[in-house]
């Protein structure tokens, strides 16, 4: 068996063809730009299919086509995220929690090389604009929030690691099918001071055993591979325009931070199963039929599993407000904003008192 191919991946070392300075990717284009002389250097476009890799072959360490790469990462001692640094940086803060990073502790780590990515479409100013709009819409936000949240010194563009999985599923199930039927019930009630007897139709359910199987192919189940961001917010950045994925090219990483995946491939597939399960349960209920369904057991077999490791662009802002950490995320493609926010209990209390006073006045004038 041939050894797994290993390549050296270094980010941020592209030299300007005019002045030799480091180049950075210009969001929304296919160019690297020079901050010093203004030159624009085109990124050669790769005309290649984005290959899906065999999941079980990788786990068995038998794949000859899976490439790995070596990158220098520095790990945050607070949140555990491992991220790249731009060249010649002597000090930096974690893009997720703003904890100072110990740059001297950066070390090389081997990872599965991404096969594809979505480049940043928004630049930093565009993301700031979307973020400011979101801030202005927040109800009951403390007055100091805008000052803290709009400190964009720690507003970073980060390529977040993801896995996607394709799989055929075959599910055997045991359950019950419920069918409604109606019976006439006699009951006694009081009308005009007299006791009267009436009848009514009462719905009941008759249950029958059910068993069978369903099939479903899942394409591109997307699972985030970081634990450094609030899961409910990172998933709310969807949908992503995965149809516009391009083959991996490290040129697009220049000028941005890239995080190393914290969720390994096998764990990522377990998460994918959880994402697929509601759809499988829906198929089972449809197959059982009837008016109601009970699922007693499901046994799902996953076949022909393939995966891709990809990077998706997110702007991240982290700040501490009154000792508590808050994170905000901006989709680097669509501008969708998600995040945590504090509340001003003073504003909530004053608003509640004002509403109570208005209600009291309405009642007073209604009764007088």
- pLDDT for position 92: 74
Handedness of CA 74, 78, 81, 83 (dihedral sign): negative
> Using only C-alpha atoms, what is the Rg of the chain?
28
Q: Tell me the three state secondary structure of residue 309.
A: strand
- pLDDT for position 366: 73
Q: Tell me the three state secondary structure of residue 342.
A: coil
- pLDDT for position 117: 94
- Taking the C-alpha atoms of residue 247 and residue 50, their distance in angstroms, rounded to an integer, is 6
Contact 303, 170 (CB under 8 A): yes
Q: Tell me the three state secondary structure of residue 258.
A: strand
- pLDDT for position 9: 37
DSSP code, position 235: G
CA 343 vs CA 139, 143, 319, 330: distances in Å: 8, 10, 15, 21
Residues near 307 by beta carbon (within 8 Å), at least 6 away in sequence? 52, 53, 55, 58, 163, 164, 165, 166, 265, 268, 269
Sequence spans of domains, the chain:
6-173+210-351, 179-208
Q: What is the pLDDT along the chain (368 residues), one digit of tens a residue?
A: 233 333 333 444 567 777 767 788 889 888 888 877 777 778 877 777 788 889 998 888 755 556 777 778 888 877 777 887 766 555 677 777 777 777 777 787 788 888 899 999 999 889 888 887 877 776 656 555 555 555 556 678 899 999 999 999 999 999 999 999 999 999 898 888 888 898 999 999 999 999 999 999 999 999 999 988 888 889 999 999 999 999 998 889 888 888 889 999 999 999 999 999 999 999 999 999 999 999 999 999 999 999 999 999 999 876 666 667 777 899 999 999 897 665 554 555 656 666 666 776 777 667 76
**Sheet containing strand 31-34, strands side by side:** 23-25, 31-34, 40-42
Q: Which letter, b or e, does each residue of 14-46 get, where b requires 16 or more Cβ atoms within 10 Å of its Cβ?
A: bebeeeeebbbbbbeebebbbeeeebebebeee
SS3 content of the chain, % helix, strand, coil (to 5): 25, 40, 35
Q: Which letter, b or e, does each residue of 277-287 get, where b requires 16 or more Cβ atoms within 10 Å of its Cβ?
A: eeebbebbbeb
Residue 354 exposure: Cα atoms within 13 Å on the Cβ side: 6
Closest CA to 162 of 78, 252, 234: 234
Length of the chain in terms of residues written: 368
- Taking the C-alpha atoms of residue 313 and residue 256, their distance in angstroms, rounded to an integer, is 9
In which residue are the tokens 């019930």 written? 185
Contact 141, 321 (CB under 8 A): no
In which residue are the tokens 């006073």 written? 357
- Taking the C-alpha atoms of residue 250 and residue 12, their distance in angstroms, rounded to an integer, is 8
- Taking the C-alpha atoms of residue 229 and residue 250, their distance in angstroms, rounded to an integer, is 24
């Amino acid at each position: 068996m041939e050894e797994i191919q290993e390549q050296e991946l270094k980010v941020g070392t592209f030299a300007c063809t005019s002045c030799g300075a480091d180049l950075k990717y210009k969001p929304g284009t296919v160019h690297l730009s020079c901050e010093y002389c203004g030159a624009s250097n085109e990124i050669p476009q790769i005309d290649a299919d984005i290959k899906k890799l065999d999941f079980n072959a990788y786990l068995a360490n038998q794949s000859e086509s899976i490439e790995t790469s070596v990158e220098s990462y520095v790990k945050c001692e607070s949140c555990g995220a491992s991220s790249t640094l731009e060249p010649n940086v002597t000090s930096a803060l974690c893009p997720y929690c703003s904890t100072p990073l110990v740059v001297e502790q950066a070390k090389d780590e081997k990872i599965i090389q991404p096969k594809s990515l979505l480049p940043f479409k928004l630049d930093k100013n565009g993301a700031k604009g979307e973020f400011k709009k979101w801030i202005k819409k927040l109800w009951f936000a403390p007055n100091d929030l805008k000052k803290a949240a709009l400190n964009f010194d720690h507003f970073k563009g980060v390529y977040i690691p993801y896995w996607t999985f394709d799989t055929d599923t075959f599910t055997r199930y045991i359950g019950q099918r419920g069918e409604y039927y109606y019976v006439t019930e006699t009951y006694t009630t009081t009308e005009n001071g007299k006791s009267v007897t009436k009848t009514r139709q009462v719905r009941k359910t008759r249950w029958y055993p059910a068993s069978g199987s369903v099939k479903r192919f899942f394409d591109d189940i997307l699972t985030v591979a970081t634990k450094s961001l609030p899961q409910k917010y990172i998933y709310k950045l969807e949908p992503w325009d995965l149809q516009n994925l391009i083959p991996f090219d490290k040129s697009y990483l220049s000028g941005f931070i890239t995080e190393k995946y914290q969720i390994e491939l096998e764990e990522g597939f377990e998460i994918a199963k959880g994402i697929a399960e509601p759809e499988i349960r829906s198929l089972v209920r449809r197959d059982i039929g009837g008016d109601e369904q009970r699922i007693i057991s499901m046994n799902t077999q996953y076949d022909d599993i393939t995966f891709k490791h990809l990077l998706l662009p997110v702007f991240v802002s982290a700040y501490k407000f009154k000792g508590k950490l808050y994170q905000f995320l901006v989709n680097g493609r669509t501008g969708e904003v998600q995040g945590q926010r504090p509340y001003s209990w003073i504003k909530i209390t004053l608003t509640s008192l004002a509403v109570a006073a208005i209600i009291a006045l309405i009642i007073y004038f209604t009764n007088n």
